[in-house]
Amino acid sequence: MARYTGPSCRLCRQEGTKLFLKGTRCATEKCAFSRRSYGPGQHGRGRRVKLSNYGVQLREKQKVKRLYGVFERQFRRYFSEASRAKGVTGTTLLQLLERRLDTVILRCGFALSMAQARQMVRYGHVQVNGHKVDVPNYQVKTGDAVKLTAADKFLKIIKENQEITKDRKIPAWLQVNAANLTAEVKAMPARDEVPFPIQEQLIVELFSK
């Protein structure tokens, strides 16, 4: 499967906001966006482009894709599924993204970034209802039990992550047992529990053209 292997900080600078793609580094003075908040590239500092309505909608879609680490084809599948489901399309889209297994691992505080959460899943360190699941886009459901299982060396890393993220608010739809490295999905994620400033209506308008 294709994946982005370029510099993560370039994406933040392109979108004009912190996407927290490097975990705790993004909250320190080493954050590239904090030091260079203008666009990437040779002419990034002097480039002043006024976006059209389409440009604003496109940038919002690109921002969400990068926040959750999904590519265009997969993102379109999520939107297609959300548009067919009952309810508000934009809210359903965000729920599908929040219910990804790698997103759940990140929200529980077991990982520092989406990339690290995806790696945990890919390496087979995550079980759902007692069965190993190594697919990052696996959709959790209400009542699912998620557990991390790994060698002592890897568990040490998870414990260190938990110490770093101990002040991070865990959404109410997840119940986490930090000591046992387990979590239970208590409900579907609510719109106000998405921890990023996202204007999903712009994405709906973009795909509705």
pTM of the entire predicted model: 0.81
Sequence ranges of the domains in the chain: 1-42, 53-98+195-209, 100-187
Q: Quote the pLDDT of residue 30.
A: 54
| Rounded (10°) CA dihedral 146, 22, 62, 78 | -10
Topology annotation, domain 1-42: Ribosomal Protein S4 Delta 41; Chain A, domain 1 (1.10.1050)
CB 198 within 8 A of CB 60: yes
Topology annotation, domain 100-187: 3.10.290
b/e per residue 147-172 (b: at least 16 CB within 10 A): bbebeeeeeeebeebbeebeeeeebe
- The DSSP 8-state label assigned to residue 49 in this structure reads -
pLDDT in tens, the chain (209 residues): 456 555 555 555 555 565 555 555 545 555 554 555 545 555 455 556 677 899 889 989 988 998 898 999 999 999 999 999 999 999 999 999 999 999 999 999 999 888 899 999 999 999 999 999 999 999 999 999 999 987 777 888 898 889 988 888 899 999 999 999 999 999 999 999 998 889 999 999 999 87
